[in-house]
Amino acid sequence: MTLASASDLLTYLADLIETLERYAVTLLPPSDADEVGLEQEPDGSLVIDLEGRLPTPRSSKDVDLLLFERWREVDQDAWLCVEYRYELRHHELHYRLALHRHDEAHFVRHFGVATHEHCEVTMGVETCGHYVGEPVIDAFDAFDRLYGAWLSDQKPDCSVLQCLG
């Protein structure tokens, strides 16, 4: 996403919540809040931090969806997304997929990329710590990718990804 005003971010969040609800994702408020919203951190960053559960039969284990973005003000009321973490944790099939951009300087210095992915065919067991990741446009793009993986009802094939180390 390009630069956005605080008002743009509120609209973006509202549209994202509407999309998730349209797909029957149950949104859970952050542990320290009563409701979902655009939060401001002590350093001034704006944060979108959504956790949801995808629709599953009552007898199935949960499928968790995590969508996190950190926005920094780069000019007066001009905000830039400087970090994201989007994850799918499928407890029934016991796998994890994640699309990340964080600690950018570290990843560029060590791996030559700012974005990376996590793929665990068995949740908690990493064959590779970080895989090359295609940059994610925004939370809608991340949701489409993760929801599509979930709809396949199969564990991902992590071997097709390029390991960074």
Residue 117 near residue 99, CB atoms below 8 Å? yes
Strand 63-75 relative to strand 78-90, pairing: antiparallel
Three-class SS state of 101: strand
What's the pLDDT score for residue 85? 96
Mean pLDDT of the 10-33 span: 90
Digit-coded pLDDT (tens) for 28-46? 877 666 778 899 999 999 9
Mean of all residue pLDDT scores within the chain: 91
Q: What is the pLDDT of residue 31?
A: 66
pTM, 2 dp: 0.91
- pLDDT of 16 > 60? The answer is yes
In this predicted structure, the answer to whether residue 117 has a pLDDT above a threshold of 60 is yes
Give the span between the Cα atoms of 36 and 41, in whole angstroms.
15
Plot region of 101 (φ>0 → left; ψ -120 to 50 → alpha; else → beta)? beta
Q: What pLDDT, in 10s, does the model give residues 80-103?
A: 999 999 999 999 999 999 999 887
